Amino acid sequence: MLSYIVRRLLWGLVIIWLVTLIVFFVIRLLPGDPLLIYLAQNQDINSMPREQIDALYREYGLDKPILVQYANWVFNLLRGDLGLSITYRQNVGKLMLERLPVTLHVGMTGFIVSLVPGVLVGLIAAMRRASWIDNVVTIISYTGIAIPVFWLAYILIYVFGLRLKWLPIAGYVSPFEDFWLSTKHLIMPVICISLPGIAATARQMRSSVLEIASQDYVRTAWSKGLAEKAVVCRHILKNSLIPIITLLGMRIGFIFGGSVIVENIFAIPGMGRLLVGSIFAQDYVVIQANALIMAVIIILSNLLVDISYGWFDPRIRYD
């Protein structure tokens, strides 16, 4: 077990190295010149002498061959230096420390919120298969997956923010500052992030329960005359949760994916908004760091999911 974990961690490092390659070289292909845009924004394109612009290129190492730039970037990463943002002119690590907690706050809340209803709904739908409950749940969950997030967001804002005035329309407040207000701000973004999650979890749970329910040991349990509660809890629920864990691993990725759109609509200062802004400003220092951090978190959580398999499913052995 231990050697398995160590081995997986080492592979994890290799994958992260591959991620740095992808991030770096894909982003360097971005058309346009980030410094040009930066200078344009700061209206210096005409006032800056050529030497000064060259100095800026040197400051960002843009005058060096691309492989040297890559080596420098990785070397600095290892020292914990994420580089200097072109548009923000500040250390990217600092920026990330501002953004990551916000995205995690919104995303993890959405993640947890999607978990419990998803599992419950899926379980009920499967146990009452082909009943009206199943049909309603199925239709709702398919709709939940099919609805474009930005559309859902608009409808929520329209109903709860504008018509009913129950919730603030946009913005973000740290929970340490004002917990109640922060939670109110969180409700709509969390619904947007978690609805597709609830639907996907319910769907997966439903088919997983159906599969488990047809296993011999479950039939045996029924035929022994055990109460429904006992069968469901002890045999079906526990075993059908295993595929859900894989799904959860995948949903970590959706947290970041969802944040890209949700943060823009609700004006939440998280990583998704920073990423989109940076792509348009072509601030590749920020894009690199942003994408890298997302990828590292996703890879590590997938690793965690794999390892936790053994804990849930004793049939899996690590070798």
Task: Closer to another protein by CB, 100 or 147: give it.
Answer: 147
113: tokens are 């919120």
For residue 120, the minimal CB distance to another protein (Å) is: 19
**Residue among 69, 76, 182, 207 that touches another protein (CB under 8 A):** 207
Regarding 18 and contact with another protein (CB under 8 A), the answer is: yes
For residue 197, the minimal CB distance to another protein (Å) is: 13
Contact string (CB under 8 A) for another protein, positions 154-193, x = contact: x--xx--xx--x--xxxxx---------------------
Query: Of 64-72, 112-120, 230-238, 281-289, which segment contacts another protein by CB under 8 A?
Result: 281-289
Residue with tokens 């916000």: 102
**Residue among 35, 127, 137, 203 that touches another protein (CB under 8 A):** 203
Regarding 11 and contact with another protein (CB under 8 A), the answer is: yes
Q: Which of residues 236-275 bind another protein (CB under 8 A)?
A: 253-257, 260-261, 264-267, 269, 273-275
**Residue among 2, 3, 46, 65 that touches another protein (CB under 8 A):** 46
Per the CB < 8 A criterion, the answer to whether 142 and 134 are in contact is no
Q: Which of residues 68-127 bind another protein (CB under 8 A)?
A: 87-90, 98
